[in-house]
Amino acid sequence: MSLDLSNYSDLLRALSPEALLTVLALVVLLLVAWRHRTAADLRMAGVATLVTLGATAAAVWWLWWNRAEVEGIASMIAVDDFRFVVDWILLGAAALTVLFSFRYLEREGLLAPEYYPLLLLALLGMMLMAGGEDLMVIFLGLELMSVSVYVLAGFNRRSARSAEAALKYFLLGAFASAFLLYGIALIYGATGTTNLTFIGVQVSSLGIAHLPLLLAGIGLLLVGFGFKVAAVPFHMWAPDVYDGAPTPITGFMATGVKAAAFAALFRVVIEAFGPAAGWSTVIAGLAVATMIGGNVVALAQRSLKRMLAYSSIAHAGYLLVAVTAAGAGSAAFLVYLVAYTLTTLAAFALLAAKGRGGESEVRIDDLAGLAATRPGLALALTIVMLSLLGFPGTAGFIGKWYILVAALGAGHPALAVILVLTSVVSAGYYLPVVMAMYMKPAPGPEAHAGVTLDVPARAALLVSVLGILWIGVAPSRLLDLSRDTVATLHAVRGVSASAPDSTTGPALH
């Protein structure tokens, strides 16, 4: 299916997932305005949200199944497999978050169904980021996502810790957005366009890869993205915000929000800045600092939630290695994104089952004896910890292996060595969780009496754990899909030099 984005009907088809999500999110908002007082109203809003996510996923599948592509060069929104696959990852993260949230919100007394429309609007911004073919679309998507997540981070209005998390996230998020927007302005000044394809054409055809104005714009853009993906040294907001936010939202921020930011960053550097000098060196430096900083600080954490927060920072470093490897790391990037999303969401869901009052006070030693009283949950948490560690037979191992191979193939052996060494260091904080559950006695017979999951959360956890094991044992289909997907991004590198207002060129697909 070939789409001409200058035609409004074709543009609407290209934006059908986002348009459908927008309409249904507003319907859910009207629904919660009508019924918003009881736990039953909250569950009804959650079910409506799941229906919305299913309908949006079907719209994405329709575009993918019909091999939608753009006639010429995409102006504002990409229509390629990379967008569709990342959309599915984001929709999956949102669906799992909703399933993990049903019992949690009722247990914590957060009977405010506005939670679900905010989640949908954040998802809309994330999908625009992943599919943005123009820097301004990416920025607008980022702001829509950020404003919604600011509110979700402080959703527990009775908690001072949650209010602190929201305020800190808002202030530093606005600071990061300013860097990003100023970087976009400088890039526009250097190239005369904000379209990613035309930026790449201008950089390669006009020989401006070393132009100071362009390099300054790229630097500011990378600072903005560094804040959003919580890369060291722009990570200082992440542990406190993750610690103070409601735990399902923490999982959503650590997976969906980060996946959207990484997808936008990946598209930008591949399509726009491939010929530019310096960006890969900067991202490699961020990757090294993030892998080392995240893993070393996580070793000192005794709070399970803060440990997982620093762990997510370390995993951002691994993803930055895939971004640095560019072409060789493209397929590895998507494989790791899927593995990381499944594993991290499951980890925070299990933490939510154990804790109370935001789970900030749950320590690793509090899991002592969990295997004796809740063997199923202990087994699931063990699989999750081993996957985060990168143990063979899990999705985490496959993701790290492909990134390792990509780094070596792209000529970055130092990054590969640091990735391996920091993964070994991470055993120092993942394995104590397993040891506490299986090798230490419970402090009392009722220590884990309240550690349960409702039926939706159990189903979501089962899907996550089975996905972790399936990818770990049979990753070939996911890898093939990832290779086919990123090929649609690399195809744009064959665009011939032309003026920014040109409407001719090969299709992206």
Residue 414 CB-half CA count within 13 A: 8
The stretch 263-280 carries a mean pLDDT of 81
Please state the domain extents for the chain. 2-494
Q: What is the pLDDT of residue 55?
A: 95
Is residue 197 within 8 A of residue 74, CB to CB? The reply is yes
CA–centroid distance for 127 within its chain = 11
- At 421, list the tokens: 């060494």
- Report helix, strand and coil shares of the chain as percent, to nearest 5: 75, 0, 25
**Helix, coil or strand: residue 3:** strand
The stretch 362-368 carries a mean pLDDT of 84
Which range among 307-316, 463-472, 475-484 shows the weakest confidence by mean pLDDT?
Answer: 475-484
> Rounded to 5 degrees, what are φ and ψ at 68?
-60, 135
Q: What is the pLDDT of residue 484?
A: 79
User: Residue 388: CB partners within 8 Å, gap ≥ 6?
Assistant: 311, 315, 343, 344, 347, 396, 426, 430
User: Residue 326: CB partners within 8 Å, gap ≥ 6?
Assistant: 269, 270, 274, 280, 410
Helices in 108-195 by DSSP H: which ranges? 115-131, 135-153, 160-191
pLDDT in tens, 381-417: 999 999 999 899 999 999 999 999 988 888 889 999 9
Q: Is the pLDDT of residue 462 over 60?
A: yes
The stretch 262-277 carries a mean pLDDT of 82
pLDDT tier for residue 509 given thresholds of 50, 70 and 90: very low
CA gap 448, 27 in Å, rounded: 40
- Looking at residue 361, the DSSP 8-state letter turns out to be T
Count of Cβ atoms closer than 10 Å to residue 504 Cβ: 10
Helix (H) or strand (E) holding 214: helix 212-228
CA gap 220, 421 in Å, rounded: 30
Overall residue count recorded for the chain in this entry:
509
- Could you identify the residue written with the tokens 């189903």? 459
Which range among 44-53, 230-239, 486-495 shows the weakest confidence by mean pLDDT?
Answer: 486-495
pLDDT tier for residue 329 given thresholds of 50, 70 and 90: low
Which range among 116-120, 364-368, 386-390 shows the weakest confidence by mean pLDDT?
Answer: 364-368
Count of Cβ atoms closer than 10 Å to residue 33 Cβ: 11
Q: What percentage of the chain reaches a pLDDT higher than 70?
A: 93
Q: What percentage of the chain reaches a pLDDT higher than 90?
A: 44
Helix (H) or strand (E) holding 69: strand 69-70
Q: What is the pLDDT of residue 410?
A: 84
Q: What is the pLDDT of residue 277?
A: 59
Helix (H) or strand (E) holding 462: helix 455-473
pLDDT in tens, 179-194: 999 999 999 998 888 9
End-to-end Cα spacing for the chain: 10
Q: What is the pLDDT of residue 360?
A: 66
pLDDT in tens, 119-150: 999 999 999 999 888 999 999 999 999 999 99
pTM over 0.85: yes
pLDDT tier for residue 346 given thresholds of 50, 70 and 90: very high
CA gap 56, 343 in Å, rounded: 23
What does the mean pLDDT of the chain come to?
A: 86
Q: What is the pLDDT of residue 264?
A: 92
Which range among 122-126, 149-153, 492-496 shows the weakest confidence by mean pLDDT?
Answer: 492-496
CA gap 509, 489 in Å, rounded: 8
Q: What is the pLDDT of residue 493?
A: 45
CA gap 496, 470 in Å, rounded: 42
